[in-house]
Amino acid sequence: MSGKKKAQKLSRRGFLFGGFRKKEDREQPQSAAKPIAAKELNLDTLAEANVAYENGRYEEAAAKYCEFIKTEPQNADARKRYGHCLYKIEKYIQAKVEFERAIRILGKDNFSYLYLGLVLCRAGAGKKAVPVWKLYFDPENITLQREINLQIALIEADPEASIDDAADMVEKIIEETSATA
C-alpha cells in the first residue's frame, strides 16, 4: 500500500455554496446542549447532573457538573450548563467565569453570550453587558433578539437605566420563547 491519499472530487458548486449549508446539530439558544462525555470515566456523574438540570435542581446539578468538569475541563457544553446552574442559584461571579471559559473553548456561542450578559447585569456591571450582548445574534429567535437590542439601546441611552429591569425583561422573553418552543 502506498502512503498516498486518494484525491477528493470537489465540485465548483460545493466549493462556492459550502459555507451556506445548515449546521448540523444546531443548538437551540434557550437551552444548553446536553453535554456528552469524551471519556468513560464519569458517565454516571454526567448523567446525574443532566437529570438534576432538566428537573430544575440547579444546586445539585452544579455540584455534579463541577465534579464532571474536573475530569473533562474542555467540555464546553458541561461548562455552559454549569454556568447556567450557577446563574440560577445566584452565584454570578462563578457563572461569569464558566461562561467566559465556554466562549474561550467554543469561540462563538449565543447561549454563553446571552447568559454572560445577564450575569453581568445581575452583578451590577450592566455597561459591560452591552458589548457581550452585541455579540449575540440569532435570526431564528426574533423576539429575543429584539428585546436584547432594545435593552442595549436603553442602557446606552440612559446612564440611569435600571440594569435589573433590563435583565428581568430579557429573562421574561427567554421564558416566553422557551415555553412556546
What are 57's three cell numbers?
435542581
pLDDT band at 26 (very low <50, low <70, confident <90, very high): very low
pLDDT exceeds cutoff 90 at 146: yes
pLDDT exceeds cutoff 70 at 1: no
Written as one string, the DSSP assignment of 8-65 is: PP--HHHHHHGGGSPPTTPPPTTSPPPP--SSSSSHHHHHHHHHHHHTT-HHHHHHHH
Lowest mean pLDDT among 39-43, 56-60, 69-73, 95-99: 39-43
pLDDT tens by residue, 91-111: 999 999 999 999 999 999 999
How far apart (Å, rounded) are the C-alpha atoms in residues 5 and 2?
A: 8
pLDDT tens by residue, 33-47: 566 655 656 788 889
How much is the mean pLDDT over the chain?
83
Q: Measuring CA to CA, which residue among 41, 37, 39 is closest to residue 50?
A: 37
